[in-house]
C-alpha cells in the first residue's frame, strides 16, 4: 500500500430488497397512487400559474433552503430551484438542527412569485422573483420569536393581509400588510381560537373564493391531526369551522397541511403531508369536492361527513398527459454545480468542496473537532432525502488522506446515524463502520467494525429496506459482498426525515490537506 498518495476507489450501493426502482406515483394507466412524493417535502404548499404547478416545502436547517418543485399535472414533480442558498444569520453557519425555515407559503401576485416563511427564533422572511427558476430576493421582514407558518392574501379590494400561527399556541393572527408585501402595518388581531375543536392549530393557508375568506389549517398535532377549514364573509371573522380531512378508517395518519388549487376542468385538488418516520413528511394528493361551500377532501369512506385520504385515483384532468418525472436523486457531477437534491447541514462555504464540471465532486477534509469529529455537528455533510421506502444508489469514490483521522465516505444521518468510510491511521488505511446517537451525552461515534485495507479497490454497499432497516457490506471485486458492522435502524432527524449522503472530515486541531473525490452518485 502506498503511503499518503494511495488512492482507494470504492463503490457505495444502496440496494432495495424489492425492485431497485424509485417510487413512481404515476401508474401510467391514467391513475396515480399516493404518496405522490415518497420523500420528506414537509409542510407543502402548492399553487397553479397558467399551466404550471409550483410547490415549496420546509427545509429547516438544511441549505440551500426551501426547495421549489415544478409539475404539469400535480403528480410528476421535479426540483427546479431553492428560495435561498443560505440564511443571512451567523447562527446558521453551524448546525442548528430543527431551526431554519418552517412551513413556507407560495403565492403569485402581479406577475411576481412570493414565498413567506418564519424561523422559530428569527422572525418573518419574504422572498420574491419573477421566475421561480432564477434568483429570489430575500427580505427579513420582522425580527421576532415564536412566530410560525405565515401566508399572505392580496384581497380584491386592493388591501394586503398576512395570517400566521404561533409556536406552541392555538391562535391564528391576522395582520394588515403593505401592498408590496414587505411590511406589516399593525400588531395583528386574533381571528381564531378554538382549543376544544382545534388544539395546536397552525400552518394556515389563506385564499378567497365565491365571496368567502377561507383558511385551511391543520390542527391536532403533526402525527395524529386533521385538516380544518375556516370560512367567513368578513376577513376578521367570525369564522365557521369544519373538519374536512382526517384519518378515518384509513391507515394514513395525520393527513393535513398543504395547498389547494382549482383547475379549468372544474376539479379541485389538495396536496398535503403524512408524517411517516423515519422518511419524514411525505406528500399526498387528494381530490376536493365542494359541498355546501366546504372543501371536502378525499373520499368519505365511513359516511361521517369528513373526507379520508385516497390511496389511488384518476389523474387530475389538466387537459393532456405529461411525462413521468420524480424529484432528482442521481448526480453524475458533470456540471459545475451539484444537483438540486443535495443540501448541507448549515450555511455552505466554498472551501468545503470543488466541482469542475468534468465528472466529479471533491469534498475536502474540513476540520470538525466538535466532540472528536461527531458527524451530527458537522455542517459540511452533503445529504439528500430518502427517495422512498426502498432505494438503490451507487457512488464511485477516491479517498486521499493527509492526517491520521481523516475520513471520507457514506453517511445515513438522523437523530441516530451510521457511517461507512475509509480513514487514515498510522500505518495506512482502514475501512470502518460506526454509529452514534444524538441522545448520548458525549455523542462520540462508536466504531462497530474495522478492517485493514490491502487493496487499492474496495466496494461498499448499504441496504435500506422498508425505510427503517440498513446493513452495510463491502467487497473487493464488486461481486462477493460481506456484511460489515451491525444491522441498524434508521431514524428521523429534528423535524426532518433521515437522509443519505457523502462526507469528508478531519477531527484534528491541525488543518488537513486530505480530500475525497466522488465521481458520481446514482439512484435507480
Query: For residue 318, what pLDDT is reported?
Result: 98
Residue 157: the pLDDT is 87
Q: How does DSSP classify residue 480?
A: S
Task: State how far the Cα of 417 lies from the Cα of 431, in Å rounded to an integer.
Answer: 17
**Active-site residue, 202 included:** yes
- Whether omega for the bond prior to residue 35 falls within 30 degrees of 0, making it cis, is yes
| Average pLDDT of the residues in 78-96 | 97
Mean pLDDT of the chain: 92
Query: Rounded to 5 degrees, what angle do the CA atoms 133, 137, 139 make?
Result: 145
| Cross-strand bridge partners of residue 273 | 256, 283
Q: How far is residue 227's CA from residue 239's CA, in Å, rounded to a whole number?
A: 15
pLDDT at residue 131 tops 70: yes
Q: Which of 45, 149, 198, 202 is catalytic?
A: 202
Upstream peptide bond of 273 is cis (omega within 30 degrees of 0) = no
Q: Give the rounded percent of residues in the chain with a pLDDT score beyond 90.
A: 81
Say how far apart CA 170 and CA 175 lie, in whole Å.
Answer: 17
Query: Is 407 in contact with 421 (CB distance < 8 Å)?
Result: yes
Assigned C-alpha cell, 99: 431551526
pLDDT in tens, 237-262: 999 999 999 999 999 999 999 999 99
Cell for 413? Answer: 444521518
**Taking phi first (over 0 means left), then psi (-120 to 50 degrees means alpha), and beta for anything else, what does residue 204 get?**
beta
Q: Would residue 90 show up in a list of annotated catalytic residues for this protein?
A: no
Which of 135-144, 347-356, 444-453 shows the lowest per-residue confidence on average (mean pLDDT)? 444-453
Res 12: pLDDT: 42
- DSSP bridge partners of 276: 280
Q: Which residue has the cell 386574533?
A: 190
pLDDT band at 524 (very low <50, low <70, confident <90, very high): confident
For 22-50, write each residue's pLDDT tens digit: 799 999 999 999 999 999 999 999 999 99
Q: What is the pLDDT of residues 156-205, one digit of tens each?
A: 988 999 999 999 889 999 999 999 999 999 999 999 999 999 999 999 99
Cβ atoms of 308 and 249 closer than 8 Å: yes
What is the spatial distance between Cα 213 and Cα 229, in angstroms, rounded to a whole number? 10
Average pLDDT (285-300) is 97
DSSP code string of 410-431: EEEESSEEEEEEEEE-SSSEEE
pLDDT more than 70, % of the chain = 94
Tell me what pLDDT residue 443 has.
66
- Bridge-based pairing of strands 457-465 and 8-15 is parallel
Please state, as a whole number, how many other Cβ atoms lie within 10 Å of the Cβ of residue 497.
24
CB 134 within 8 A of CB 118: no
Distance CA 276, CA 270 (A): 19
| Predicted model pTM | 0.95
Of 158-162, 333-337, 516-520, the one with minimum mean pLDDT is 516-520
Distance CA 150, CA 165 (A): 7
Identified catalytic residue from 43, 45, 198, 331: 43
Helix (H) or strand (E) holding 92: none
Give the whole-angstrom CA distance, residue 429 versus residue 426. Answer: 8
Could you say which DSSP state residue 483 is in? E
Amino acid at each position: 500500500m502506498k503511503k499518503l498518495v494511495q488512492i482507494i476507489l470504492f463503490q457505495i450501493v444502496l440496494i432495495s430488497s424489492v425492485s431497485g426502482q424509485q417510487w413512481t406515483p404515476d401508474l401510467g394507466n391514467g391513475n396515480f397512487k399516493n404518496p405522490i412524493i415518497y420523500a420528506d417535502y414537509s409542510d407543502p404548499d402548492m399553487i397553479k400559474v397558467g399551466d404550471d404547478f409550483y410547490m415549496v416545502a420546509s427545509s429547516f436547517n438544511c441549505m440551500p433552503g426551501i426547495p421549489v418543485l415544478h409539475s404539469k399535472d400535480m403528480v410528476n414533480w421535479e426540483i427546479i430551484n431553492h428560495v435561498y442558498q443560505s440564511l443571512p444569520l451567523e447562527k446558521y453557519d453551524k448546525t442548528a438542527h430543527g431551526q431554519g425555515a418552517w412551513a413556507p407559503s407560495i403565492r403569485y401576485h402581479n406577475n411576481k412569485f412570493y414565498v413567506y416563511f418564519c424561523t422559530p427564533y428569527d422572525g418573518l422572511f419574504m422572498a420574491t422573483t419573477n421566475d421561480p427558476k432564477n434568483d429570489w430576493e430575500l427580505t427579513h421582514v420582522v425580527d421576532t420569536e415564536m412566530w410560525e407558518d405565515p401566508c399572505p392574501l392580496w384581497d380584491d379590494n386592493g388591501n394586503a393581509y398576512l395570517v400566521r400561527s404561533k409556536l406552541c399556541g392555538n391562535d391564528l393572527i391576522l395582520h394588515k400588510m403593505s401592498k408590496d408585501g414587505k411590511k406589516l402595518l399593525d400588531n395583528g388581531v386574533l381571528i381564531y381560537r378554538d382549543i376544544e375543536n382545534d388544539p395546536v392549530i397552525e400552518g394556515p393557508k389563506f385564499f378567497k373564493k365565491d365571496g368567502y375568506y377561507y383558511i385551511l389549517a391543520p390542527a391536532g398535532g403533526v402525527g395524529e391531526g386533521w385538516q380544518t377549514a375556516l370560512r367567513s364573509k368578513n376577513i376578521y371573522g367570525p369564522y365557521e369551522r369544519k373538519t374536512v380531512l382526517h384519518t378515518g378508517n384509513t391507515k394514513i395518519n395525520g393527513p393535513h397541511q398543504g395547498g389547494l388549487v382549482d383547475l379549468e376542468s372544474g376539479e379541485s385538488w389538495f396536496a398535503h403531508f403524512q408524517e411517516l418516520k423515519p422518511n419524514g413528511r411525505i406528500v399526498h394528493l387528494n381530490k376536493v369536492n365542494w359541498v355546501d361551500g366546504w372543501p371536502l377532501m378525499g373520499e368519505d369512506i365511513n359516511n361521517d361527513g369528513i373526507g379520508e385520504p385516497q390511496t389511488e385515483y384518476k389523474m387530475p384532468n389538466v387537459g393532456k398527459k405529461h411525462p413521468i418525472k420524480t424529484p432528482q436523486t442521481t448526480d453524475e457531477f458533470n456540471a459545475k454545480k451539484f444537483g438540486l437534491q443535495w443540501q448541507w447541514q448549515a450555511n455552505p462555504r466554498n472551501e468545503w468542496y470543488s466541482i469542475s464540471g468534468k465528472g466529479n465532486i471533491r469534498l475536502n477534509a474540513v476540520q470538525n473537532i466538535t466532540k472528536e469529529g461527531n458527524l451530527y455537528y458537522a455542517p459540511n455533510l452533503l445529504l439528500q432525502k430518502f427517495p422512498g421506502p426502498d432505494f438503490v444508489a451507487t457512488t464511485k469514490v477516491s479517498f486521499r488522506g493527509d492526517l491520521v483521522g481523516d475520513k471520507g465516505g457514506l453517511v445515513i444521518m438522523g437523530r441516530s446515524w451510521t457511517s461507512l468510510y475509509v480513514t487514515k491511521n498510522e500505518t495506512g488505511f482502514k475501512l470502518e463502520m460506526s454509529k452514534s446517537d444524538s441522545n448520548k451525552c458525549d455523542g462520540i461515534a462508536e466504531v462497530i467494525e474495522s478492517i485493514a485495507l490491502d487493496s487499492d479497490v474496495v466496494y461498499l454497499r448499504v441496504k435500506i429496506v422498508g425505510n427503517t432497516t440498513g446493513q452495510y457490506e463491502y467487497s473487493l471485486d464488486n461481486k462477493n459482498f460481506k456484511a460489515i458492522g451491525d444491522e441498524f435502524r434508521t431514524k428521523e432527524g429534528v423535524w426532518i426525515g433521515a437522509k443519505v449522503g457523502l462526507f469528508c472530515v478531519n477531527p484534528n486541531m491541525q488543518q488537513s490537506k486530505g480530500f475525497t473525490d466522488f465521481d458520481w452518485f446514482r439512484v435507480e
